[in-house]
Structure 1
Amino acid sequence: MAIHAWMIKSLPVCECYLPGADVSLPRFLHCVTHVRPERDAEGRRVGETVWFSRISGQDAAAAWEWTEARPGIVVLSDPNCMSTNVRFVGAEDVELPHVEQLVVLNRIVHGLPWQGEVCQAITVAGRETKPGPTARPARGAADVDRRATAGALRR
């Protein structure tokens, strides 16, 4: 079963105590990228990507939707709309306001190699689409995880 962005909110809340300026933020690793078979109203490829981490022994996840602005260039669909089970806590053990939480999450996301993972998934999904007038994604083409990507690269 593949994990989707909407599933992250069902994970237990994971508190992340923000480090001082000299300590790094949590490191997330790629889990899965979904390429939707349908394109947006402007004909662009769209999807979501999910990343995981361990924070103080707890599972932490973050996901966001992306849009292929043009071939090989992907952007966050909405940097203010990311899904995570992480609650960022600042000085004096006070939970950060929502806007500040988004800023921290955006800092983490912009430090990840997520665009490369998404572009790779788009390439694999494109290979699995049959050419012709009735082109349809091959079974499973919309969900490209690390195992599928690795398998496609060995071909």
Structure 2
Amino acid sequence: MPPAWTLRAWPPVYRAVGQPLPRHFEHHGTHVFCTDAHARAPAGQTMWVWPCDDGHVGVAWDWVQVSRGVVAMLDPMAVLTNLKLLGDAGEVLTAWQAARHLNAIVVALPWQREVHRALEGGGDRAAVPAPRRRALPAAAAPVPTPR
């Protein structure tokens, strides 16, 4: 699974808040790691992808195991995504304004099941290949560096 922060480099996909939010994301991968060496509480990241007409929308967030069999989002205000939600006047919502809409997506996903599978497997669990990047037009392609 690529690091969740790479979602910021994916091409943005714009969607009006009034439009139904996608509910059919595919599990892209779940990574397990420990954040507290003393308590050894498992934590990690999970990523989900929705292939739509405008490209791929990805959402990812950190999670933590709060007790045996119970996992929760680490920070509901920190959902990473390339989805840009638009308000009534067509403005891009701030992260704070978009948080409740992004959390509605998270709540609808079976992400806790995938996290439990990854915890049982003891490591990374990827299910869907990374979306293909669109090629840049020839005029915008980077110039190769001489060796």
State whether TM-score is above 0.5: yes
Specify every segment of 5 or more residues in structure 1 that has no aligned partner in the other structure, as ranges.
126-141, 148-155
Q: Does 1:65 align with 2:62?
A: yes
1:18 alignment partner AA:
V
Q: What is the rounded CA distance, in whole Å, between the counterparts of 1:52 and 1:68 in structure 2?
A: 23
Percent identity, aligned pairs only, is 30
- Is contact 1:30–1:52 with CA below 8 Å preserved after alignment? yes
2:22 alignment partner AA:
P
2:14 alignment partner AA:
E
Q: What is the rounded CA distance, in whole Å, between the counterparts of 2:79 and 2:35 in structure 1?
A: 20
What are the superposed Cα offsets for residues 68-102 of structure 1, whole Å, 9 maximum, x if unpaired? 00111000011111211110012232222321111
Q: Does 1:123 align with 2:104?
A: no
SS at match of 2:76: coil
- Is contact 2:14–2:83 with CA below 8 Å preserved after alignment? yes
Greater RCO (Cα-Cα under 8 Å, separation 6 or more)? 2
| Equivalence for 1:76 | 73
Q: What is the rounded CA distance, in whole Å, between the counterparts of 1:50 and 1:13 in structure 2?
A: 16
| Equivalence for 1:4 | 3
1:3 alignment partner AA:
P
Q: What is the rounded CA distance, in whole Å, between the counterparts of 2:31 and 2:110 in structure 1?
A: 16
What are the superposed Cα offsets for residues 118-151 of structure 1, whole Å, 9 maximum, x if unpaired? 01110111xxxxxxxxxxxxxxxx322238xxxx
* More divergent stretch after superposition (11-20 vs 111-120): 11-20
SS at match of 2:113: helix
| Equivalence for 1:135 | none
1:6 alignment partner AA:
W
- Is contact 1:16–1:55 with CA below 8 Å preserved after alignment? no
Q: What is the rounded CA distance, in whole Å, between the counterparts of 1:120 and 1:81 in structure 2?
A: 23
1:143 alignment partner AA:
D
Structure ranking higher in helix proportion: 1
- Is contact 1:64–1:76 with CA below 8 Å preserved after alignment? yes
What are the superposed Cα offsets for residues 4-37 of structure 1, whole Å, 9 maximum, x if unpaired? 20111111111112235xxx3112221100011x
- Is contact 2:13–2:54 with CA below 8 Å preserved after alignment? no
1:26 to 9, 22, 25: 22
TM-score (norm 2): 0.78
Q: Does 1:98 align with 2:101?
A: no
Measured on the aligned residues, the alpha-carbon RMSD in Å equals 1.7
| Equivalence for 2:107 | 110
| Equivalence for 1:144 | 125
Specify every segment of 5 or more residues in structure 2 that has no aligned partner in the other structure, as ranges.
129-147
